[in-house]
Structures are given as C-alpha cells and as structure tokens.
Amino acid sequence: MMKTVEVLFTVFKKGKFPIDYLSRISASGSNLDEAKERLKKLVPEDFVLILTYYRSDYGIQAIKDTGETDDIAIRKVETRIPRNAKIVSKKLTVKGTSRNIQVSVTGSLKEALDEARYLIGPSEVVRTGRLVSPATQGIFGVGAKKAVFLVNVGQMAVAEAVYETPVDLTGCVGSEQMKNLIDQLKEWYKAEALKNSFLFLPDKRCEECGKPLKNNPFVTPNHVLCENCTNLFLGTTNWSLAIKHINLHLGPGVPKSIIETSERLKHHKKNIE
Ligand SMILES: [Zn+2]
Ligand SMILES: [Zn+2]
C-alpha cells in the first residue's frame, strides 16, 4: 500500500494536473467506514476523491463443508477460509460416525457397497468394505453360499467456520473537473434507472455482481448495476481513450451536457501538458 502512495506522489509532483485523469489509491479496514476514513487521509493535496469501490466480499461470512471424518471436514473448511480473514469460530456441527454392517451378496465388493446403500440411515454414507468369507458354489447349486462383506458406513462430519474479511477499498482521485464528469455520468445512469420502476422492486439484482440493488440502481447503456459496480466500471475505464470519443466508449446516448464537459476536460488537459 505504501508503494502505491509513493508512486502516486511522484506522478502528481510533475504538475498540478494528474498525468492520468484518474489515479488509484487503496486502503483496507475492518468495515467500509474505517477503510473509507483511511482512504480519505491518502488523498493528495489539490486532488479530490472521485469514487471508491471494492472488488470482493467483505464482512462476516460462514462456510460449511463435509468430510468422511471430523479431521477431513475441518481441514476442508480451513482451506476455504481466505488468507486475510479473521476467524470468528470454527467447529464441527455434526460429528462423523462409523459402524460396520454385514452384507451378503453373490457378487463383488461393488455389489456389496451398492447393497449397503439400502441398509443405512438417510444421513449416512457408505465408505469401504472388505470380504469376510468368499462365496462357495456348492454342488449343483446345493450348499451354495453367498459372499459376506463387512461394510463401513456412517454419518459424514460437517464442519463450519465463521470468519470476517476486511474491506480492500480502492479510491480514484483526480481533478475537480474530472469529479464533475463522473458525477454527471452517475446522475445520467440514475436518471435512466428512474425510468424503470421495476428496478426498484426488492428482488432486483445487479447484473454484474448479483447482489441486491437495494433501491439504488444505475442503468448504463449496457447494464443494470449496483453503485459499487458502477464505480468499479467508471474507475477502471481507460479515460485517456474514453475522453477522446466519450459517446463511442460510454454511449450510445451520452447526454450533450456530458459530452461538453468531457470536451472541456480534454482541452484543459491538453493546455497543461
Ligand atoms: Zn454490482
Ligand atoms: Zn471524437
């Protein structure tokens, strides 16, 4: 993180206007507010924080996994906990059990395992089996005996972990004019969303991340997005290209006032360089 900030400052020192329309800074925190507070302190003088976004889930999360034994279930859950997470709890919710049943079949172990599936409880699984006494053919079928297998069955262990992951927040900083352009674009997306009342229904979700839109939809010419995905989209746009032909990159249908703002920004930047 330190490195990002240092690089940023060397870029900014070359002139009052950033070399790129947007430059990125990042900070993490145990929640969104904390990360945002830290981010604000990193904004260089003469620049404004234009938008923020995060890329992955954060906060409290729970995962479950099953295993043949208690140890396996715990280990499977452990491997799925992200490296930067703080573990809140980790426990077995169902202890694995093990018992042996005898199964008599005419055929092989495979047949014995298949047969065992009919003899177990609904939450049990069939594990392995071994031959106890082989089948005998007898004479003309008289005295024939089935093979006896001992099959291990039991309950799968279930382990659960609850953990908390920090927010890694990215911020885009730039000039006041650039913020003005981004704000205008977001207002446009917002206005487009207001034309579709169904987007404000509680079950509507972001097309990009799949999370609920929470009464705050944004509609770009191509997508229905939540605010975070809108910020991520705008924050990762190649602005030196987009500014040149804004309707081509962010359209069609970019309002005239936004095109004018981008034209002013383009000429302003040219004059400074
Ligand atoms: Zn989204
Ligand atoms: Zn053009």
* Spans of all domains in the chain: 2-58+166-272, 61-164
Measured torsion, CA atoms of residues 244, 20, 187, 40, in degrees rounded to the nearest 10:
180
DSSP-derived 3-state class of residue 254? coil
Could you give the CA distance from residue 76 to residue 8 in angstroms, rounded to a whole number?
41
Report the separation in Å between the CA atom of 244 and the middle of ligand 2, taken as the mean of its atom positions: 5
| 204 alpha carbon – ligand 2 mean position (Å) | 36
Structure-token pair, residue 102: 């005898």
Ligand nearest to the CA of 263: 2
Quote the ligand 1 centre to 101 CA distance (angstroms). 52
CA of 262 to the centre of ligand 1 (A): 26
The pLDDT, as a whole number, for residue 144 is 84
Count of C-beta atoms within a 10 Å radius of residue 65:
19
**229 alpha carbon, closest ligand:** 1
Could you tell me how far CA 171 lies from the centroid of its own chain? 19
User: Among all ligands shown, which has an atom nearest to the Cα of 220?
Assistant: 1
ipTM of the complex as predicted: 0.65
For residue 97, the model assigns a pLDDT of 95
Q: How far is the CA of 48 from the centre of ligand 1 (A)?
A: 24
The dihedral sign for the CA sequence 75, 80, 86, 87? negative
Q: Where are the beta strands (DSSP E) in the chain?
A: 23-29, 48-54, 59-67, 86-94, 99-105, 124-133, 147-155, 157-165, 167-174, 218-219, 224-225
User: Cis peptide leading into 252, omega within 30 of 0?
Assistant: yes
CA of 154 to the centre of ligand 1 (A): 43
Return the pLDDT at 140: 75
In this predicted structure, what is the pLDDT of residue 6? Answer: 46
Which pLDDT tens digits describe the chain residue by residue (273 residues)? 444 444 455 455 544 444 579 999 999 998 899 999 999 999 998 899 999 999 988 888 999 999 989 999 999 999 999 888 999 999 999 999 999 999 999 989 999 999 999 999 988 999 999 999 998 887 776 788 999 999 999 999 999 999 999 999 999 999 999 999 999 999 999 999 999 999 999 999 999 999 999 999 999 999 999 999 999 999 999 999 999 999 999 999 999 999 999 999 988 776 666
Residue 132 has a pLDDT of: 95
Closest CA to 234 of 195, 185, 193: 185
From the CA of 246, how far away is ligand 1's center (Å)? 23
